[in-house]
Amino acid sequence: MQPSSCDTFVALPPSTEGQRIIFGKNSDRPCDEVQEVVYFPARDYAAEEKVECTYIEIEQVGHTHAVVLSRPAWLWGAEMGANEHQVCIGNEAVWGRESADDEEALLGMDLVRLGLERADTAEKAVDVITELLEKYGQGGSCMEDESGFTYHNSFLISDRKEAWLLETSGKHWAAEKVQGGYRNISNQYGITTKIDKEHPKMREYAQSKGWWDGKTEFNFATVYSFMTTARIEASGSRYCEGKQLLEKSNGHITAETMMGILRDKDSGINMEGMFMSTGSMVSVIPTNPELPGVHYFTATPDPEKSVFKPFIFVENARPLKETSSPSYGPDDPVKKKPRFQSKPNRRHELFVKHELVAAIIESYKDRGQRITKSMRDLEKTKMIEMEEILSSGIDKPDNLADLFSRSVHEEMTVYSKS
């Protein structure tokens, strides 16, 4: 198995239709891994409280924002998600000259969740993540086994007005602001000479390692990465394909455009095989702060065989039980040392029903086409409903408190009829 994972996209005006920012990500993970979609409301904490992340405990802050997350069911953090302030974050695995650390620290996925819980703008999320990186470092196995699969992380972060690309190598990092157009990332360093924020010793460190002579123009991707490994080559083709797909719709990129890109198998963006797209997300964020954002998640593998279902932040939003995996608490094999001695069943209710339907779609052409059409019809109906809210705002917030769960039940009804 050659690990390679994830494609993340953001499109801002004038590349989008209307004054909206469109964010999207496919989470490419081991094909037997379950991805859940969960909601955590905003919370206040007492002084000196701690928070237990996937491997380590860190200091908690006084207040965390409400978040909706798509995450591998075995860990604390998230592959992608959004918060009540319409900040969206997705991360990518990157490899470079600095070896990735297998010593347990914060996972990149922990940093995604921490950034969402603690920042109300994209730029503040950059600050949150980099401060935590400096204090605690990044490291530990990124898969639910003893393979020691580790990597550095890049992050694409957006809010209502801009996006930021943050790329890391150990504790060193560079960040670039994106104020218009579109951007995508795919497992390779992409920041070159336009650097808007950086680790204060990032250049000095590179020079001390002999990666940079201190005289030529500093190019982060050239200095910190290898461009020869099979991983980078594979991600390079996906990056180019993704960029071309965005360019094809430049000026009128919509949520439907982004879903289409995430479903594209020819490009490799909708990944199949031992690593596959196990969860997908598309967010639509109006630049007008009076209007809500809509966040679509599949909570199931292969977006081509899945339904994007909407979530909207409202005050009384309810837990997402149908897409939450079983919890094993302190008995979870991830929490016990040595870790990963067994793998419990982490399949949530929707995953179980979807698994059967996906097999039918794969095995029976005519029947599969009918099921897929019903799934697309449901998705289209939901998107039409959401368009009214995106344009006019929320009339009755309580009616949206269980929006995602209702959509999941409608999806499961489609499966039952099939």
End-to-end CA distance of the chain: 34
Greatest C-alpha distance within the chain: 67
Residue 74, SS3 per DSSP: coil
Instruction: Identify the helix (H) or strand (E) that includes residue 62.
Output: none
Site of tokens 């690309």: 165
Question: What is the 3-state secondary structure of 127-164?
Answer: HHHHHHHHHHCECCCCCCCCCCCCCEEEEEEECCCCEE
Q: Give the Cα separation of 116 and 41 in Å (integer).
A: 12
Q: Give the Cα separation of 292 and 86 in Å (integer).
A: 8
DSSP 236: H
Catalytic residue among 6, 53, 88, 142: 6
Residues paired with residue 39 on neighbouring β-strands, in sequence order: 68
Residue 94 CB partners (closer than 8 Å, separation 6+):
151, 152, 153, 154, 167, 168, 169, 187, 188, 189, 225
Instruction: Identify the helix (H) or strand (E) that includes residue 368.
Output: helix 365-392
Tokens for 357?
């339907």
Site of tokens 């994209």: 122
Residue among 67, 116, 65, 64 at smallest CA distance from 90:
116
Residue 8 CB partners (closer than 8 Å, separation 6+):
24, 25, 80, 90, 91, 92, 156, 184, 185, 186
Q: Give the Cα separation of 105 and 50 in Å (integer).
A: 15
Does residue 6 have an active-site annotation?
A: yes
Q: Give the Cα separation of 314 and 41 in Å (integer).
A: 10
Q: Give the Cα separation of 194 and 155 in Å (integer).
A: 16
Residues with catalytic function = 6
